[in-house]
A and B are shown apart, each in its own frame.
Chain A
Amino acid sequence: MTGWRRILSAMAVLALASAVPAAPAAAGDRCAAPAKFTTAAGALPNAAAAVRQRQALRVLIVGTGSSINGGTSAQAASYPQRLEKDLAAAFPGVSVTVQTRGGRGLTGADMLPLVVEGLDDFRPDLLIWQTGTIDAVRGLDPDGFAQTIGEGVEKALKRRADVILMDMQFSRFSRAAVNYGPYRHGLDSIANTNAGVLAFQRYDLMRFWAASGQIDVERAPRAEWQAQADLLHACLARALAEVIRDGIRQASR
């Protein structure tokens, strides 16, 4: 690509990306978060190319219970479905498709075949892999976990899909009873050591929201469980959409 064409296409993507607010303002200020949670630490070149060249963006989400059934009032309120809408709004004219696979209780190793299958069947431009919870809860070998995730990430990059690795949900009880540290470090290290791979730090983001009193699923009274989960997923989707938009913007620079 010549310099001029590169600049032109970058400007086109920038124009697309900044034309529309990242997410509907319905969730209000409750979603507010420090910039480090809503900006990308690196570029998402495959997603950017898909948006630029095909006006299409295919996102595969593989995850555990919190991605498949996160306690929201309806499927449509969960973060994968909301992300599809938010991304469509962020990239007008681009056809955004989000597909979700996985299920409750799955370890990283359980999900690896689902990732491979999804990559082959769905051919995504971006893989969002939400993982680590079950491995940490069960105390499985952290090095083996990181190896498994690394393997999946390598396969995704080979098939021209960028990757966002999403870590655990924050809760005070699991912080006290589960040692998430080594698994989170494993995910961070894979994100840090591979171009086209980002870490989405859900644990720290949810911890921030809980500390600031914006969103607190764990301490909500039973009657508000669903409403809090809906809010959480809306805000997660919004933060994810902003990260993706920023990653695409960086790839187009």
Chain B
Amino acid sequence: MRGLIRTNRDIRVDFFRGFALYCIFVGHIPDHSFWVATIQVLGPSDSTETFIFLAGYSAAIAYGRSYDRFGWPYAATAVLLRVWTLYVVHIFMFVAFVAQVSWSAARFANPAYIDEINIGAFLEEPHLAVLDALSLRFQPAFMDILPLYIVVLLLFALMLPLLKRPVALLAVSGGLYLLIRLTRYNLSTAQGEWFFNPLAWQFLFMLGAAVAVMPEEVRALLRRAGPVLLPLAVAIAIAGLFISAVWRLSSVYNAIPEPLAALIYTAIDKSGLHPARLAHFLALAYLAGRIVPPDAPWLLAWWAQPFTLPGQHGLVVFTMGVFLSFLGRIVMQEWDATIATQAAIAVLGWTVCVVVSALQAWYDGIGRGGAGKGGTGPSSPLAAQPRPVSGSV
């Protein structure tokens, strides 16, 4: 596996993205107990934040390079091709969902589940359901993260020229985020509103992009601000642990003053990327960047490789993970949900993701005419990565 991991880039990004993808895979299987070892236990932000931020980071490197070499239309087309892939996967997931529901609904003829049978209600008007699925307006459970990613990438295709002016990018993107926070506007679905409001979440993606193209002066400024930023980030990370404890442990909840506890419990929304989630994620990202040096040997240790390698092939692993978590839910529905089965689902599912990313790495390596390590890396500090290949998101 080691030989398939490209090392001419910041593999910290790959490791953390791989781990976030693993967390998303497990997190999309309800009642799966491995959630206790996912990012969400650290505080209000979870693997969705990590994934979207690092997707923006990688996209800025991959498509920023295309933009430099071939211009906006070319780079935007590359993004749109990526969007098309995600869209097709979304429709595939819709078909899988229809198959699951129509096949399982017979069992729900049991009058004890007179309410739950409504899960299949959309089957009564299939023409509307299909149209809603095609227009991203039908977002049944666990099918909400693909539409988010699709819309965010569309916005990114529009904002590509702003990669040259990171401040303007953040101003436009942050302005939209603020506007959405203030107006509470959200896109509608056939049933209600988007679970992840893409107009709010795009800000995190663009933040990731801006960090990737950050000029050297800003990096130097950040380094100088270290004595302030480090304690701040540590404080926010500790506050995050505290919030997580309030959310999950009633003993902690009861130990703090009622108004504060109630506020923590109810005010931090996920749909609109609440500022507490944003701040918590940024603090974690900053700490990870400070604690883990770019060439930390453990990033290539035997136990880290199954995350670092898939992290280099985000698109294929992400889509595969979405489908595998669907299969995991089916296994727990049809077979059993004992801890042994849950462990088997997690291990087997993630093994498939690792194998798929290994295949992709091998394929890309042949296509580049060299070993998987990427050969001669470009010299630009912004683009420590070869041409965008299908592996990078």
A143 to B194, CA, bound (A): 12
Residue A25 interfacial (CB < 8 Å): no
Contact string, A130-143, partner B, CB cutoff 8 A, digits 1/0? 00011011111101
Within the complex, the shortest CB–CB distance from B150 to chain A, in Å, comes to 18
A52 to B214, CA, bound (A): 69
Contact string, B99-134, partner A, CB cutoff 8 A, digits 1/0? 011001001101111111011010000000000000
A100 to B333, CA, bound (A): 32
A178 to B116, CA, bound (A): 9
Q: Which residue of A lies closest to B331 (CB)?
A: A176
- List residues of A (87-127) whose CB comes within 8 Å of B's CBs: 104-105
A141 to B194, CA, bound (A): 8
Residue B31 interfacial (CB < 8 Å): yes
Residue A172 interfacial (CB < 8 Å): yes
The answer to whether A173 touches B111, judged by C-beta atoms less than 8 angstroms apart, is no
Contact string, B167-189, partner A, CB cutoff 8 A, digits 1/0? 00000000000000000000001
* Residues in B neighbouring A69, C-beta threshold 8 A: 111, 114
* Residues in B neighbouring A105, C-beta threshold 8 A: 115, 118
The answer to whether B115 touches A178, judged by C-beta atoms less than 8 angstroms apart, is no
Known pairs A143-B271, A177-B141; A192 contacts B265 (CB<8 A): yes
The answer to whether B114 touches A71, judged by C-beta atoms less than 8 angstroms apart, is yes
Partner of B112 from the list A70, A175, A176, A182 (CB cut-off 8 Å) is: A70
Partner of A173 from the list B140, B253, B261, B333 (CB cut-off 8 Å) is: B333
Partner of B192 from the list A141, A146, A179 (CB cut-off 8 Å) is: A141
In the A-B complex, the 7 residue pairs with the smallest Cβ-Cβ separation, listed nearest first, are A71-B112, A179-B141, A65-B114, A71-B111, A176-B329, A176-B333, A193-B262
A244 to B334, CA, bound (A): 35
A195 to B191, CA, bound (A): 33
B positions within 8 Å CB-CB of A: 30-31, 97, 100-101, 104, 107-108, 110-116, 118-119, 121, 139-142, 189, 191-193, 195, 250, 253, 258, 261-262, 265-266, 269-271, 329-330, 332-334, 337-338
Residue A17 interfacial (CB < 8 Å): no
The answer to whether A138 touches B118, judged by C-beta atoms less than 8 angstroms apart, is yes
Partner of B30 from the list A66, A71, A104, A179 (CB cut-off 8 Å) is: A179
A10 to B192, CA, bound (A): 48
Within the complex, the shortest CB–CB distance from A154 to chain B, in Å, comes to 13
Contact string, A221-243, partner B, CB cutoff 8 A, digits 1/0? 01001001100100000000000
Residue A57 interfacial (CB < 8 Å): no
Most buried by B among A139, A140, A189: A139
Within the complex, the shortest CB–CB distance from A217 to chain B, in Å, comes to 5
The answer to whether B265 touches A138, judged by C-beta atoms less than 8 angstroms apart, is no
* Residues in B neighbouring A173, C-beta threshold 8 A: 104, 107-108, 116, 119, 333
The answer to whether A217 touches B112, judged by C-beta atoms less than 8 angstroms apart, is yes
The answer to whether B31 touches A175, judged by C-beta atoms less than 8 angstroms apart, is yes
- List residues of A (147-194) whose CB comes within 8 Å of B's CBs: 169, 171-182, 189, 192-193
Known pairs A66-B112, A140-B192; A177 contacts B140 (CB<8 A): yes
Most buried by A among B100, B104, B116, B139: B116
Partner of A192 from the list B253, B271, B337 (CB cut-off 8 Å) is: B253
